[in-house]
Structure 1
Amino acid sequence: MVAPLSSWPWDNFGIFKYLLYGPLLANGLYSLHVEGNITNNWCLHILFLCLLRVGVHIAWSSYSTMLFLTRNRRILQQGIDFKQIDMEWEWDNFLLLQALMGSLMVYLFPSLGYLPLWNAKGLIAVLILHVGVAEPLFYVLHRYFHTKHYLFTHYHSLHHSSPVPQSFTAGNGTVLEHLALSMVIGAPIVGTCLLGYGSTAMIFCYVLIFDFLRCLGLSNVEIVPHRLYEAIPVFKYLLYNPTYHTLHRTEKRANFCLFMPLFDAIGNTVDEKSWELHKEISSNAGKNGKVPDFVFLAHVVDVCSSMHSPFVSRFFASHPYVTRLFLLPAWPTTFIVMLVMWARSKTFLYSFYNLRNSLHQTWVVPRFGFQYFLPFAKDGINKHIEDAILRADKLGVKVISLAALNKNEALNGGGTLFVDKHPNLRVRVVHGNTLTAAVILHEVPKDVKEVFLSGATSKLGRAIALYLCRRKVRVLMLTLSKERFEKIQKEAPVDCQNYLVQVTKYQAARSCKTWIVGKWITPREQSWAPTGTHFHQFVVPPILAFRRDCTYGDLAAMRLPDDVQGLGNCEYTMSRGVVHACHAGGVVHYLEGWTHHEVGALDVDRIDLVWEAAIKHGLKPVSSN
């Protein structure tokens, strides 16, 4: 049986829970219309304060997930996985609860609704009441929730169930503990108002600072320098730090204070490791952390998809990318940021996960898809990629895998440029296309006798054509270059060469129901496919699903092994736990311990070998065909 006040009354409302703000909004707008000013319109004040509080939590979440800024300041090193993100999805329940409680207070005590905008004495009074009332009250209640088994099990354990503290973890709790927290945050406010020193500014400042400090403790990023405590020893009793609060979350037996360790000192509940651990983490802030074993070097596809980053919104990033219309107003700002990144920034750490006791990271080249096709941008992009490879080599990374356009043939010969320029690289450079080819080829039904292949003379197209012709499959290779076609044809066994056929127009595939698309095609070009055609594809971005009488495969991808840990964001349009095949190819290269570079042309003879290695290590195909 569920304990009373352990679940939220609007748990089943979904997004419709926000309709509960409706009466506040309606009352606020009506009062604004009647009175003509917003000074004492507390319904609108409460709504605006809720928006600001959401902004505080989102800002802290964004900062803590900017790994390129915080990687060496992290306290707990594991990543935030999908399970935690889903568990904290309704993190803002407490805001709705406190908004309703605030409106009830204004209704019961109408005088609270007529406060001056500013009263300096109120700021002093609320600070005194916070130290004298809120801090000890929270300490007593918090310790009580821990020492009473029933209370901890049924009410407080949910808050501790998030393995990596984040700002959103602040809201991941039960109704009872948030009612208790509302008493804590409300006592200084109500007390100050009853003393006659209340003001609108006091309420806004106190609530926002309260949230800011809670998010500070739950940020998992140590930003309080240990030198501050050394210079002013008493300060460590006046303000906690993220390390201090993280110890409470992991040990659960000490550090019960709200923001001031003074009350832990009085109650003799300070964890003895608090200050030494804080000094260690703070001192290591400027040093490199654990060296990754594998790096996937990605790039941004377009301006809109750049907003799919975990540090923009981990909730969006935890689902496959789709265009969200409500994000479009942010497009101009994002575009400006893109221009700044284009001009100044370097490759940055994007995300990480752990697999088989090894650290796997994704680095991002700050270039957008269209930039790869600008002739004057070629050298700059290659310089970024080269710097990332040399950085990985210096750190001791074992394998670096190049994503999509980062290994474009016209850009750098599929990575050959870097290997030839730096023959003594210890890091293995991998384009991962061998596994990409294997995934596509295993999607093609065994009984297919003919396929149409666009992008036929690319690295992938060549390998796919040569592999299929060995299976006695007729391959219609779309290319205008007879020379390039004949060069590929001569690589095929003599008895298989007649299975490779050059075509120069899409009309040649009017009777072929298996299309393998390696070059972006327009809806008009798709129209030549017969009804019932299935479009396999290895083109970025994916082609438009224009034909309702045809089916479309996803980009070549594989699901990571089940023992992957700390993975909490989706790779572009891929589902949870699924990565592009070139990413998976680099993972297999690392897991197998292969010591060769995989750059340039594909070795057709290794396609089955790489596929079998992927399956052996627990990677799974995810074809929707």
Structure 2
Amino acid sequence: MASTPGILTDWPWTPLGSFKYVVLAPWVIHSTYSHMFGNEGTDLFYILVFPFLLWRMLHNQVWISLSRYQTARGKAIVDKGLEFEQVDRERDWDDQIIFNGMLFYLGRCILPRAKTNLTIWRGDGLVMTMLLHAGPVEYLYYWLHRALHHHFLYSRYHSHHHSSIVTEPITSVTHPFAEHITYFMLFAIPMISTLWIGTASITSYFVYITYIDFMNNLGHCNFEFIPNWIFSLIPPLKYLIYTPSYHSLHHTQFRTNYSLFMPIYDYMYGTMDKCSETLHESSLRKEESPDVVHLTHLPSAKSIYQLPVAFASLASKPHTSTWYLWLLWPVTLWSMMLTRIFGGSFVIERQRFDKHRLQTWVIPKYSLQYSLSWKNEAINRAIEDAILEAAQKGAKVISLGLLNQGEGLNSYGGIYVQRNPRLKIKVVDGSSFAVAVTLNSIPKGTTQVILTGNLTKVAYALAFFLCQRDVQVVTLKNAEYLKLTKSLNTTEGKVIHDRSYAQKIWLVGDGLSKQEQLSAPKGTIFIPFSQFPPKQLRRDCFYHHTPAMKIPKSLENVYSCENWLPRRVMSAWRIAGIVHALEDWNEHECGDTMSNIDKVWKATLRHGFQPLISED
């Protein structure tokens, strides 16, 4: 929102929220009906408006994903943090597409010449469109843009756009409604002019709008990819095409580089930033080397859309079941096939904390695959390749998230150290810190807890430390009781087998059954110690998050949620790797190895991480 919002700031359909696309429904229905049952010839332009809007959305989404992927690799021009506030502000980037679509439909119905069928192709109309853009449109936009930086208009309108110092492709269309009206009037000059003189075509409209989208996205993508040799080979190009670094200076300096897509008017009127060429050269750099890598995987096929490099609005919220993603099943199937073909890990986001460079990598494997024993070899090979790649890039620590560490899969990451005894990078499975977080989530004064679910490394450690603190561990199954007593070798009475369900503090892991949940007394507190949360079946009970903590404000560039966790909350397994690097601990924490629980907990608090549950 602008600092002092003016009239026509909000979009007319803002009150409709997620149902805003209903404003297009009458036009889509009418165009479809006219095509199927109309007596007149088929009007291709009228039929193709809606598919063209879908194309524009896809085009923009490709740029969003590409931009986030490249900046996650450390190729950002403006190397500052992107935050949730900007993600929320730019969430409705598709409003301008809806607006343009409505104007296309209206123009076809109102303008006399638009009512006649447009030809598919006219070369003279396309050339005229480009010339009209290079002349009147670019010139008028330059002076309009300068006017928008006058304090009166800037505070009421344009400051909303400049709230984003770190730009993303969709920043280009994040403007108040009034600004978009003005911009469309400018961009309509070539379209209406060619229509009026009879040289317009469907192709010229398609190419022109796609060109505008392409250049807008290019200028705001925040990574440089246009090489220097192009301008050395063809010097006049520097007046005719801007670069991402050229426009990024406008967002950091504000009073320079006003041009739309062609810098010629900045050269003519002396508003070109003197740092434009040097910034362009320095922005063409290699990808950044991480200090800490968190290695995760895809929980489900649909989770591909909730990655930071995918749908920004979904990534900025905790993962939930979203019904409309089922409509994208062809894309989902295609993405699964691609991951099967390529199979290598890829970076999805990066942060910076206390001069340490953090990255999150994803192995394109799904939770279902981890349950298939015949897939273990392929999964382990992918994990090991990622570890060796991270080591080659100079990372100090790699933490294993979700199912990338497990007893049956890789002995909690221990096999990678055994296979590579000279491995310099430290492998962290995060079990010690997961135990610490779970122990500190138990209410003070608790004397009995139920421990149920699959008995993992974390479960055995929890039982051990609870017995050390004179908290009685209750198991619901005799098999669990026998395994724990044999492993812990505790005195009689520290671990008991009881099915009375009288206890209200439950430590639960994977394998918690529906019957067990329904048998718990009212007011039971379920505290997961597993990577995945239990399905919440009881409204009269309380469910904690999986082991996690709030992150300090100094941890920058956090703009997505980690799986099902709230904003600015990280899993214990991910935090464990960060703290391991911050403390410069020189040992692996994987396999049968466990770090000192108190030492890990105190170090984490010292670095500013905070518990989700107050100790009070």
Same fold (TM over 0.5): yes
In structure 2, the residue matched to 1:571 is 562
The yes-or-no answer on 1:610 pairing with 2:596 is no
Partner SS state of residue 507, structure 2: strand
In structure 2, the residue matched to 1:356 is 354
- Aligned with 1:52 (options 30, 52, 55): 55
Residues in 2 aligned to 1:461 and 1:614: alpha-carbon distance in whole angstroms = 21
- Aligned with 1:513 (options 499, 504, 523): 504
Structure 1, 459-468 or 266-275: larger mean CA deviation:
266-275
Q: Render the CA deviation track for 1:253-289: whole Å, top value 9, x for unaligned.
A: 222222222232222332232233323333x3xx332
In structure 2, the residue matched to 1:226 is 228
Residues in 2 aligned to 1:179 and 1:22: alpha-carbon distance in whole angstroms = 21
Letter of the structure 2 residue corresponding to residue 133 of structure 1: P
Q: 1:450 to 1:346 in 2, by over 3 A?
A: same
In structure 2, the residue matched to 1:413 is 411
Q: Render the CA deviation track for 1:523-551: whole Å, top value 9, x for unaligned.
A: 23434434443322223432222344443
After TM superposition, the score normalised by the length of structure 1 is 0.90
Residues in 2 aligned to 1:520 and 1:421: alpha-carbon distance in whole angstroms = 31
Letter of the structure 2 residue corresponding to residue 157 of structure 1: S
Residues in 1 aligned to 2:310 and 2:55: alpha-carbon distance in whole angstroms = 17
- Aligned with 1:35 (options 34, 38, 60): 38
Residues in 2 aligned to 1:522 and 1:455: alpha-carbon distance in whole angstroms = 8
In structure 2, the residue matched to 1:268 is 270
Residues in 2 aligned to 1:483 and 1:96: alpha-carbon distance in whole angstroms = 64
Give 1:316 deviation, angstroms: 0.5
Letter of the structure 2 residue corresponding to residue 152 of structure 1: Y
Letter of the structure 2 residue corresponding to residue 125 of structure 1: M
The yes-or-no answer on 1:498 pairing with 2:493 is yes
Structure 2 portions without partners, runs of 5+: none
Residues in 1 aligned to 2:177 and 2:330: alpha-carbon distance in whole angstroms = 40
Residues in 2 aligned to 1:179 and 1:456: alpha-carbon distance in whole angstroms = 59
| Cα pair 2:45 2:118 within 8 Å, conserved | no
Partner SS state of residue 544, structure 2: strand
Residues in 1 aligned to 2:69 and 2:481: alpha-carbon distance in whole angstroms = 49
Residues in 2 aligned to 1:330 and 1:432: alpha-carbon distance in whole angstroms = 35
Q: Render the CA deviation track for 1:321-358: whole Å, top value 9, x for unaligned.
A: 11211111333542443344234321211111222232
Q: Render the CA deviation track for 1:138-171: whole Å, top value 9, x for unaligned.
A: 122112323x222223221211111221221122
Give 1:245 deviation, angstroms: 1.4
Q: Which residues in structure 2 correspond to 1:540-619 (within 5 Å)?
A: 540-601=531-592, 603=594, 606-619=596-609
Give 1:441 deviation, angstroms: 1.6
In structure 1, the residue matched to 2:259 is 257
Letter of the structure 1 residue corresponding to residue 204 of structure 2: M
Residues in 2 aligned to 1:6 and 1:483: alpha-carbon distance in whole angstroms = 67
How many residues are aligned here?
A: 610
Residues in 2 aligned to 1:301 and 1:342: alpha-carbon distance in whole angstroms = 15
The alignment yields a C-alpha RMSD, in angstroms, of: 2.7
Q: 1:583 to 1:326 in 2, by over 3 A?
A: same
Letter of the structure 1 residue corresponding to residue 206 of structure 2: F
The yes-or-no answer on 1:134 pairing with 2:125 is no
Give 1:12 deviation, angstroms: 4.0
Q: Which residues in structure 2 correspond to 1:11-410 (within 5 Å)?
A: 11-25=14-28, 27-29=30-32, 31-32=34-35, 35=38, 39-40=42-43, 45-67=48-70, 71=73, 73-118=75-120, 119-146=122-149, 148-282=150-284, 284=285, 287-289=286-288, 291-410=289-408
Q: 1:27 to 1:377 in 2, by over 3 A?
A: closer
Partner SS state of residue 359, structure 1: strand
Q: Render the CA deviation track for 1:106-149: whole Å, top value 9, x for unaligned.
A: 45422222142222221122112112211111122112323x22
In structure 2, the residue matched to 1:480 is 479
Q: 1:333 to 1:195 in 2, by over 3 A?
A: closer
| Cα pair 2:91 2:312 within 8 Å, conserved | no
- Aligned with 1:533 (options 505, 519, 524): 524
| Cα pair 1:456 1:479 within 8 Å, conserved | no
Partner SS state of residue 363, structure 1: strand
Letter of the structure 2 residue corresponding to residue 499 of structure 1: K
Partner SS state of residue 386, structure 1: helix
Q: 1:269 to 1:549 in 2, by over 3 A?
A: closer
Partner SS state of residue 362, structure 1: strand
Letter of the structure 2 residue corresponding to residue 616 of structure 1: R
| Cα pair 1:78 1:164 within 8 Å, conserved | yes
Letter of the structure 2 residue corresponding to residue 90 of structure 1: D
Give 1:301 deviation, angstroms: 1.4
Q: 1:199 to 1:555 in 2, by over 3 A?
A: same
